[in-house]
Amino acid sequence: MAQVWAQVLAGATSIDGAAHALDTNVRTLQRTLNREGLDYRGLVNVIRVQRARELLGGTQMSITDISSQLGYSAPANFARAFRRITGVAPSDFRMFCRRSL
């Protein structure tokens, strides 16, 4: 699973790209993820949001730069995905992190 995580962070947002980088086929990767109770798209979203939390809480990068670094086509798409998974907007998450220090 760590290899898949690394591929997603390296920019492999399609299952085809990740399977190729891992030198396996798509079906084998899908079966591996299914055994863990995961699907590729869901895993990509979780990994991206985890990395976004790290960047929002630990850097001064703009939300636009973070969304771009994580492979989102637009900051609004990033904000929507982040809010769907965490329940808060990226800017609110950042403010909460700053207040907690």
**DSSP string across 24-64:** S-HHHHHHHHHHTT--HHHHHHHHHHHHHHHHHHH----HH
Per the structure, the complete domain to which residue 23 belongs is given by 2-100
Both tokens of 48, joined, read: 């991206």
Signed CA dihedral, 72, 76, 80, 82: sign only: positive
Q: Is the pLDDT of residue 11 over 80?
A: no
* pLDDT interval class at 92 (50, 70, 90): very high
Q: What pLDDT was estimated at residue 69?
A: 92
Task: Count how many domains the chain has.
Answer: 1
- Please name the amino acid found at residue 66: I
Q: Is the pLDDT of residue 89 over 90?
A: yes
pTM, two decimals, is 0.81
Residue 101, classed as helix, strand or coil, is: coil
Phi-psi category of 87—alpha, beta or left, where left has phi over 0 and alpha has psi -120 to 50?
A: left
Both tokens of 95, joined, read: 């403010």
Q: What's the rounded Cα separation, in Å, for the pair 3 and 38?
A: 15
pLDDT above 70 covers a percentage of the chain that reads 97
CATH code of the domain in which 29 resides: 1.10.10.60
Q: Residues 19-51: pLDDT tens digits?
A: 988 899 999 999 999 999 989 988 888 899 999
